[in-house]
Amino acid sequence: MPASASAEFAHSRRRFLKTGLGAMALAGLGQWPLEACAETEEGQRLCVLHTNDVHSRLDPFPMDGSANQGLGGIVAREKLIRYIREKEEQVLLLDAGDIFQGTPYFNFYRGKPEMQAMSLLRYDAATIGNHDFDAGVEGLATQMVHADFDFVNCNYRFNGTPLEYRMKPWTILRRGKLRIGILGVGVALKGLVPDTLCEGIGYEDPVRCVNETAYHLRVRKKCDYVICLSHLGFSYPDDRISDLKLAAQTEHVHCIIGGHTHTLLQQPYKVKNLKSQEVIINQVGWAGLHLGRIDIFFNHKKHPDYIPDLGALSVGETRV
């Protein structure tokens, strides 16, 4: 955790550890082809881990007899992520928004523990969701000070707001010989967020902005792989833009990691884009109950090939 970590969060984390949750089982580990993940002369394998809509769930669900009792929590997630990093050479850890709101941690501390926890887990990048404005634009900007990772969004306009110099439309991460372009896109805030909480934030067409940004990353910046962190939602029964519709209208996006609709996909979904190429879409529910995992193998020409049979990994186990 960064040196600036607050005493109250350090105390909370010690309390988590004392519960014994750090010993939770890792679902399905014996079936993962982890030993085949190293970079070879023939190519390289990239492991993308991701979360969405965690909603301030730093603790596991209480032992109250509910279906989710004992599941989730930052300690169990850290243990799972650490295990994977020990087996993999090239790992990304990403989040698709709605980090805030849902437990007393946010009510009392307004997002600071959430940002510190994500920094502790060494997230690489995240986008923002509508609930990340629940403490207002200035409140979100204040808590970003505690984030040791980039926030990306390409279809909101932050000019003249406290977020103007804290948000990026995109970022580039390097893993081995690969250049990975990361961009973010968000849902229309009107009707979801009170005007007073998102004052000054402009909204632009997500499809156009994603295509322009992905083109910049893929063609101009020569990225080998482009990931869109989306808080649009997986699908809708009406004409609202969703990850499914976005994927079909893109040209240079390889993967969409989604949020907002709390959709749990046991395996990533595939959609053909404007070039009839497959775009991978994944989303893993809410509350930190699952950790998304996507593995991609790049051959010697850096052509990406999705490796199936992964998707949503359970975080923690039910304790009786």
Enumerate the β-bridge partners of residue 316. Answer: 71
Q: Is the pLDDT of residue 113 over 80?
A: yes
Query: What's the domain range around 110?
Result: 46-314
Counting the structural domains of the chain, the total is: 1
Count other C-beta atoms under 10 Å from residue 311's C-beta: 18
Q: Is the pLDDT of residue 212 over 80?
A: yes
pLDDT tens digits, 88-108 = 999 999 999 999 999 999 999
Check residue 3 and give its pLDDT. Answer: 42
Check residue 320 and give its pLDDT. Answer: 29
**Residue 3 forms part of a structural domain:** no
Check residue 309 and give its pLDDT. Answer: 61
In angstroms, the Cα distances linking 174 to 26, 171, 228 are: 28, 10, 16
Lowest mean pLDDT across 22-36, 115-129, 139-153, 182-196: 22-36
**Residue 185 forms part of a structural domain:** yes
**Residue 202 forms part of a structural domain:** yes
Where residue 28 falls among pLDDT bands split at 50, 70, 90?
very low
Check residue 307 and give its pLDDT. Answer: 86
Check residue 308 and give its pLDDT. Answer: 78
Q: Is the pLDDT of residue 22 over 90?
A: no
What average pLDDT does the structure give for the chain? 88
SS3 54: coil
Backbone angles phi, psi at 275, to 5 degrees: -100, 10
Q: Is the pLDDT of residue 36 over 80?
A: no
**Residue 148 forms part of a structural domain:** yes
Report d(CA 170, CA 184) in Å as an integer.
7
Section 59-83 average pLDDT: 96
Count other C-beta atoms under 10 Å from residue 317's C-beta: 16
Q: Is the pLDDT of residue 118 over 70?
A: yes
**Residue 22 forms part of a structural domain:** no
**Residue 8 forms part of a structural domain:** no
State the residue for tokens 């399905």: 28
Of the chain, the end-to-end C-alpha distance in Å amounts to 31
Section 207-221 average pLDDT: 98
Check residue 38 and give its pLDDT. Answer: 47
Check residue 23 and give its pLDDT. Answer: 31
Q: Is the pLDDT of residue 285 over 70?
A: yes
Are 310 and 294 spatial neighbours (Cβ–Cβ below 8 Å)?
yes
Report d(CA 111, CA 138) in Å as an integer.
12
pLDDT tens digits, 222-237 = 999 999 999 999 999 9
Section 305-309 average pLDDT: 81
Lowest mean pLDDT across 15-29, 52-66, 138-152, 276-290: 15-29
Check residue 317 and give its pLDDT. Answer: 56
Q: Is the pLDDT of residue 250 over 90?
A: yes
**Residue 21 forms part of a structural domain:** no
**Residue 295 forms part of a structural domain:** yes
- β pairing state of 43-51 and 91-95: parallel
Where residue 37 falls among pLDDT bands split at 50, 70, 90?
very low
| Tokens at 260, concatenated | 């907002």
Where residue 11 falls among pLDDT bands split at 50, 70, 90?
very low
Where residue 41 falls among pLDDT bands split at 50, 70, 90?
low
CATH number at residue 291: 3.60.21.10
Long-range interactions of 169-176: CB distance < 8 A, separation 24+: 169/209, 169/213, 170/213, 170/216, 170/217, 171/125, 172/217, 172/221, 172/223, 173/92, 173/124, 173/125, 175/44, 175/46, 175/90, 175/91, 175/92, 176/39, 176/44, 176/46, 176/89, 176/90
